[in-house]
Chains A and B, each alone.
Chain A
Amino acid sequence: MSGYIIRRLLYALPILIGVNLITFVLFFVVNSPDDMARMQLGDKRITEEAVSAWKADHGYDRPLLYNAEAEGTAKLTDTIFFQKSVKLFAFDFGSSDSGRDIGYDISQRMWPSLAIALPVLLVGLAINISYALMIVFFRATYIDVGSVVLLVAMMSISGLFYIIGGQFLVGKLLHLVPISGYDTGLDAAKFLVLPVIVGVVGGIGTGTRLYRTFFLEEANRDYVRTARAKGLRERTVLSRHVLRNALIPILTGVVAVLPLLFMGALITESFFGVPGLGSYTIDAINRQDFAIVRAMVFLGSVLYILGLILTDISYTMVDPRVRLS
């Protein structure tokens, strides 16, 4: 097992290098170091000297990918790409182009993201599973048909509408929770209610529908039929057999997204003024802060690969027939 994990981690290395290279190329096709300097220095009264001083200070005065003037390996190492990428692999993100330390900011902003994403996941899971079970229980009745139509309708609504609508209704008209904002510690609870509700409601359509198919698939298997034929009550059949077996695909799906919870929800966070990693990323894109963008991409890729490995491992745990190879 541990050998497998190590192998997978080693396998992740070329992927991360590839990700880094792609981000780097994409970014510098659009953004020259000069642009970055001007962006950071502001737009009033900026001279060429100030721009080159900034570049020298932040290490952007080298060639991008290939240094023709240097000797030997320095041709490749004395470049912006090499200098800026190597440290990433040690999770040293350096300081952002505006001067703040990125690692510090990420460690600060990770928690608000998690504080929204985790409840959304858990509450959503609970609601979706119970709703899906209920639909399966009442399958082929008007409840089933009505619910499916409702679910499809819910997933046909853009996520933006849930946010705008939720804020308008709960925050503005009903005065139940603060419209936006965040606080540390326990005070955060009242700010989290609305984003979590919006996140859960927005996810019911897709989630419940998916789980319904899982349950239906399971409910039509032979052993379930046998159980039913033995005279077991439908409730027992569903909870003891169907639910237990259908939980496997559900949970492995959840495991895959677990690490990505840290990355935060881009739009929800901006709308609700939550200082998480999602709004951090959006800000960085808007301000063209390459250092942050690169750090977030790297982090996202690492977490994604972590999710893949976790999924594989969780498969072996729930299903002994699958062996890791």
Chain B
Amino acid sequence: MRLLVGLMAMASLLAGCGSPPWNNPYPDQQAGGKILYGAFTERPKHLDPVRSYSAPEYAFLAQIYEPPLQYHFLKRPYTLVPLTAEASPEAVHLDADGRLLPQGVDPERIAVSEYLIRIRPGIRYQPHPAFAKGADGAYLYHALSRNEIARLDTLADLPKTDTRELTAEDYVYQIKRLAAPWLHSPIAGLMGEHILGFEEFSERLQDVAPASGSGERAFVDLRPLDFPGVEVVDRYSYKVRLEGPYPQFVYWLAMPFFSPMPWEAEALTNQPGMRANNITLDWYPVGTGPFMLAENNPNMRMVLARNPNFHGEAYPSEGMPGDREAGLLADAGQPLPFIDRAVYSLEKESIPYWNKFLQGYYDSSGISSDAFDQAVQFDAAGQAGLTEEMRAKGIGLRTAVETSVWYMGFNMEDELIGGDSERARLLRRAISIAVDFGEYISIFANGRGMEGQGPVPPGIFGHRDGEAGINPYVFDWQRGRPRRKAIDEAKALLTQAGYRDGRDPATGRPLSIYYEAMDAGPDGKARLNWIRKQFAKLGIELIVRATDFNRFQEKMRKGTAQVFMWGWNADYPDPENFFFLLYGPNRKTAGGENAANYANPEFDRLFEAMKNLPDGAERQAIIDRMTEIVRRDAPWSFGFYPESYSLRHQWVANVKPNLMANNTLKYLRLEPDLRERMRAEWNPPILWPVFGIVAVLVMGAVPAVVIARRRERSAAL
């Protein structure tokens, strides 16, 4: 008992002297630093800009590598602005004989479009050992011995670092890397269709460096190898040549695929033996951006630190209406970045992630917001979903409709549900009405989403708001908002199609339709039950065929599915990036991305015309016609446009969801002192239950001791 009292006294002492909270997962010496704390749920697979093609990876990469262009942080619709380039490049069109064509010429006549990109001089790379040179001017670490390499644990074990100015050569080098077959760039196939001579170059490279079998490959210097698609004009400018017109190309210039890559880095990391120590470009990025990867331990923690050589950039001074009121322009003109470090911890389970956010140990739901899905419920109006408690903590919320679409697809090559017959079309439309995505959003997305009306989500050219934008086959316009048609109308359609009460006239049984599910997560069961309920409204029996993702993909490729759900996340904000999902020659069964295998000649013709047009009334008219066609044919039930949101604590400023730009870390500002105060206030250690347990144990021990005494005495007798 005396011990207990002592412990209590000690605890009250500890609590009294204002020590940092016990449950702080970060070292105490970091307190007060301008450090952003975030989490990543899945370890990034690739940090080489040639390979990386996923949002969680871009969250790191985009802070490090700088492609020539970027998206404006505040402006909507999304606008491209120069990053390292002097200006956004304009396409120059040439005909088959290499003669210059005027702007606005018939796209048929364009043989080559040429982009000249000028970069700004004076930009330097982050400090990196690959640039380090000895007194004799030779690179220090480009020819290490086997033994030296074997001793390396991380790249930081090479003590000397240096930098170099960014040149046009580096950009060209990276484009050549895109073509290198051993780097498996996911966009190599696509670029092969557009960049002049890209495929031939790729084959040439295959011969230069044959497959190794072990995955390890000696350094191949791509600088002396040339192909017609790219050309270094001078130290600060380079040209890219495309086959025919491809106006969407400028968007690619804002993606990490087209970042600069210094050849020195590749020369360093491709020495034999480096791979065995995990020292590869895939894990050690080298860039010119505001941050550099200071610690790379994907098993535990990733740390971005300020790049001392950063060329400097100012916070944008223009925004959208409302941005100034929201305080987003308070820092206009200030030099970026505002924070010194960003620490991302591996957090695989959502409950700890969420709880640590509430305790103040994560600043915002930055990187992967999936984990927060469960936690917050709100409608389009915003704040309503935050609980009183959260608002009292000063947690803020920002939402934006994502540039992606989730849809329920019908395989058009299927006999029952697909095809161009009126019967199948009516069936698809009936299902489109019956599957109530409004309910889906409120149950599974916690109200974060907009019911889909067509293939193009809001924020992308071609999307229409309001009454003009509704899908008249599924919705009515009532009281100023779209309202899903009654289920009776769907039943009438079904009867018209020959399936009265959902019965198959051939057998008299309910129509059975197969649904391909790849849902295995905790929510899977609920989701499948829900979908079955939707079809049951029509009397249709939905048979769920659950598979893993691989199998699902295989089915989609073979076109053996019937009904499925899938989504598409835009690569760039252009309607072409959505309509191509329904373009006939792009069918999944033909190796494309058109998962519904939809093919409609008129639609395809319109698509070909639309994709080369500049935004404007003409383009809008074509898009309207295309939208009408797909609404009528209903190869998709346009599910919903998900809404992304970000939660942040009161000490985080300059957060605006930007679904195209990933390099937004540099805009973020923090108030570390406020954070320290709040953390201490929110996390006082509560010790009485511990003492309570000890007390219970002690009290329980008393009778035991009594018995023991008695026993000993009786034994002694």
Question: Which positions in A face B, CB cutoff 8 Å?
Answer: 31, 35, 38-50, 53-54, 56-59, 94-95, 98-101, 103-105, 108-109, 134, 137-138, 141, 143, 164, 167, 169, 171-184, 187, 190-191, 228, 231, 233-235, 270-273, 275, 279-280, 283, 288
Q: Which residues of chain B come closer than 8 Å to A46, judged between CB atoms? A: 186, 189
Among B190, B347, B550, B687, contact of A288 (Cβ-Cβ < 8 Å): B550
Q: Which residues of chain A come closer than 8 Å to B243, judged between CB atoms? A: none
Among A31, A95, A180, contact of B275 (Cβ-Cβ < 8 Å): A95
Q: Is the CB of B189 within 8 A of A175?
A: no
**What 0/1 pattern do residues 698 to 717 of B give for CB contact below 8 A with A?**
00000010011001100110
Among A42, A57, A99, A167, contact of B186 (Cβ-Cβ < 8 Å): A42
Q: Is the CB of B282 within 8 A of A99?
A: yes
Tell me how far the C-beta of A287 lies from the nearest C-beta in chain B, rounded to whole angstroms.
9
Question: If A138-B708, A234-B711, A271-B352 touch, does A38 touch B550 (CB 8 Å cutoff)?
Answer: yes
**What 0/1 pattern do residues 179 to 192 of B give for CB contact below 8 A with A?**
00110101111100
Q: Is B383 an interface residue (CB 8 A)?
A: no
Question: If A59-B214, A108-B299 touch, does A178 touch B550 (CB 8 Å cutoff)?
Answer: no
Q: Is the CB of B359 within 8 A of A50?
A: no
Q: List 29 A-B contacts (CB under 8 A).
A: A35-B554, A44-B186, A45-B187, A47-B188, A53-B211, A59-B213, A59-B215, A99-B280, A104-B278, A105-B278, A141-B707, A143-B704, A164-B351, A167-B351, A171-B352, A174-B685, A174-B686, A174-B690, A175-B21, A175-B682, A175-B684, A176-B23, A179-B355, A180-B356, A182-B300, A184-B300, A231-B716, A271-B349, A273-B349
Question: If A176-B685, A180-B356, A187-B27 touch, does A41 touch B348 (CB 8 Å cutoff)?
Answer: no
Q: Is the CB of B707 within 8 A of A138?
A: yes
Q: Is the CB of A273 within 8 A of B345?
A: yes
Q: Is B248 an interface residue (CB 8 A)?
A: no
**What 0/1 pattern do residues 330 to 365 of B give for CB contact below 8 A with A?**
000000000000000111110110011001010000
A171–B355 CA distance with the chains assembled, in angstroms: 9
Tell me how far the C-beta of A96 lies from the nearest C-beta in chain B, rounded to whole angstroms.
10
Q: Is B614 an interface residue (CB 8 A)?
A: no
* Interface set, chain B 240-281, CB cutoff 8 A to A: 275-278, 280
Q: Is the CB of A57 within 8 A of B212?
A: yes
**Which one of A42, A94, A183, A283 has the greatest number of beta carbons of chain B within 10 Å?**
A42
Q: Which residues of chain B come closer than 8 Å to A38, judged between CB atoms? A: 550, 553
Tell me how far the C-beta of A136 lies from the nearest C-beta in chain B, rounded to whole angstroms.
12
A134–B703 CA distance with the chains assembled, in angstroms: 13
Q: Which residues of chain A come closer than 8 Å to B352, judged between CB atoms? A: 167, 171, 179-181, 271-273
Q: Which residues of chain B come closer than 8 Å to A184, judged between CB atoms? A: 300
Q: Is the CB of A275 within 8 A of B300?
A: yes
Q: Which residues of chain B come closer than 8 Å to A49, judged between CB atoms? A: 189
Q: Which residues of chain B come closer than 8 Å to A187, judged between CB atoms? A: 27
Tell me how far the C-beta of B415 lies from the nearest C-beta in chain A, rounded to whole angstroms.
27
Q: Which residues of chain B come closer than 8 Å to A182, judged between CB atoms? A: 300
Question: If A41-B186, A270-B349 touch, does A179 touch B22 (CB 8 Å cutoff)?
Answer: no
A2–B591 CA distance with the chains assembled, in angstroms: 61
Q: Is B161 an interface residue (CB 8 A)?
A: no
A181–B355 CA distance with the chains assembled, in angstroms: 12
Tell me how far the C-beta of B153 lies from the nearest C-beta in chain A, rounded to whole angstroms.
9
Q: Which residues of chain A come closer than 8 Å to B322, judged between CB atoms? A: none
**Which one of B22, B45, B184 has the greatest number of beta carbons of chain A within 10 Å?**
B184
Tell me how far the C-beta of B242 lies from the nearest C-beta in chain A, rounded to whole angstroms.
17
Q: Is B689 an interface residue (CB 8 A)?
A: yes
Residue of A nearest to B43 (CB): A283
Tell me how far the C-beta of A82 lies from the nearest C-beta in chain B, rounded to whole angstroms.
13
Q: Which residues of chain A come closer than 8 Å to B708, judged between CB atoms? A: 137-138
Tell me how far the C-beta of B318 lies from the nearest C-beta in chain A, rounded to whole angstroms.
33
A175–B711 CA distance with the chains assembled, in angstroms: 43
Additional A-B contacts beyond A101-B276, A104-B276, A176-B690 (18; CB < 8 A): A35-B550, A42-B186, A44-B53, A45-B189, A98-B46, A99-B45, A99-B282, A103-B276, A137-B708, A172-B359, A178-B361, A181-B25, A183-B300, A190-B25, A270-B349, A271-B349, A273-B348, A283-B43
A31–B297 CA distance with the chains assembled, in angstroms: 29
Q: Which residues of chain B come closer than 8 Å to A181, judged between CB atoms? A: 25, 345, 347, 352, 356
Q: Is the CB of A45 within 8 A of B186?
A: yes
Residue of A nearest to B206 (CB): A53
Q: Is the CB of B359 within 8 A of A175?
A: yes
Residue of B nearest to A184 (CB): B300
**Which one of A43, A109, A190 has the greatest number of beta carbons of chain B within 10 Å?**
A43
Residue of B nearest to A228 (CB): B715
Residue of A nearest to B52 (CB): A42
Tell me how far the C-beta of A288 lies from the nearest C-beta in chain B, rounded to whole angstroms.
7
Q: Is the CB of B186 within 8 A of A273?
A: no
Q: Which residues of chain B come closer than 8 Å to A109, judged between CB atoms? A: 299
**Which one of B24, B181, B282, B352 has the greatest number of beta carbons of chain A within 10 Å?**
B352
Among B184, B283, B348, B355, contact of A270 (Cβ-Cβ < 8 Å): B348
Among B45, B211, B300, B690, contact of A57 (Cβ-Cβ < 8 Å): B211
Tell me how far the C-beta of B489 lies from the nearest C-beta in chain A, rounded to whole angstroms.
36
**Which one of A59, A104, A138, A273 has the greatest number of beta carbons of chain B within 10 Å?**
A273
Q: Is B54 an interface residue (CB 8 A)?
A: yes
A57–B683 CA distance with the chains assembled, in angstroms: 52
Among A56, A137, A175, A183, contact of B686 (Cβ-Cβ < 8 Å): A175
Q: Is the CB of A98 within 8 A of B189?
A: no
Tell me how far the C-beta of B574 lies from the nearest C-beta in chain A, rounded to whole angstroms.
16
Residue of A nearest to B217 (CB): A57
A98–B283 CA distance with the chains assembled, in angstroms: 11
A289–B181 CA distance with the chains assembled, in angstroms: 22
Q: Is B114 an interface residue (CB 8 A)?
A: no
Q: Which 6 A-B pairs have the closest CB atoms?
A: A275-B299, A178-B25, A180-B352, A47-B189, A175-B683, A181-B25
Tell me how far the C-beta of B56 lies from the nearest C-beta in chain A, rounded to whole angstroms.
12
Q: Is the CB of A191 within 8 A of B25?
A: yes
Q: Is the CB of A179 within 8 A of B23?
A: yes
Q: Is B576 an interface residue (CB 8 A)?
A: no
Tell me how far the C-beta of A72 lies from the nearest C-beta in chain B, rounded to whole angstroms.
20
Q: Which residues of chain B come closer than 8 Å to A235, judged between CB atoms? A: 712
Q: Is B541 an interface residue (CB 8 A)?
A: no
Q: Which residues of chain A come closer than 8 Å to B704, judged between CB atoms? A: 134, 138, 143
* Interface set, chain B 14-32, CB cutoff 8 A to A: 21-25, 27
Among B22, B299, B553, B715, contact of A177 (Cβ-Cβ < 8 Å): B22
Q: Which residues of chain A come closer than 8 Å to B715, judged between CB atoms? A: 228, 231, 233-234
Tell me how far the C-beta of B540 lies from the nearest C-beta in chain A, rounded to whole angstroms.
29
Q: Which residues of chain A come closer than 8 Å to B355, judged between CB atoms? A: 167, 171-172, 179
Q: Which residues of chain B come closer than 8 Å to A231, judged between CB atoms? A: 715-716
Among B275, B591, B685, contact of A175 (Cβ-Cβ < 8 Å): B685
Q: Is the CB of A45 within 8 A of B593?
A: yes
**Which one of B214, B278, B707 has the greatest number of beta carbons of chain A within 10 Å?**
B278
Tell me how far the C-beta of A181 lies from the nearest C-beta in chain B, rounded to whole angstroms.
4
Q: Which residues of chain A come closer than 8 Å to B686, judged between CB atoms? A: 173-176
Q: Which residues of chain B come closer than 8 Å to A183, judged between CB atoms? A: 25, 27, 300
* Interface set, chain B 190-221, CB cutoff 8 A to A: 190, 211-215
**Which one of A54, A178, A187, A288 has the greatest number of beta carbons of chain B within 10 Å?**
A178
Q: Which residues of chain A come closer than 8 Å to B211, judged between CB atoms? A: 53, 56-57
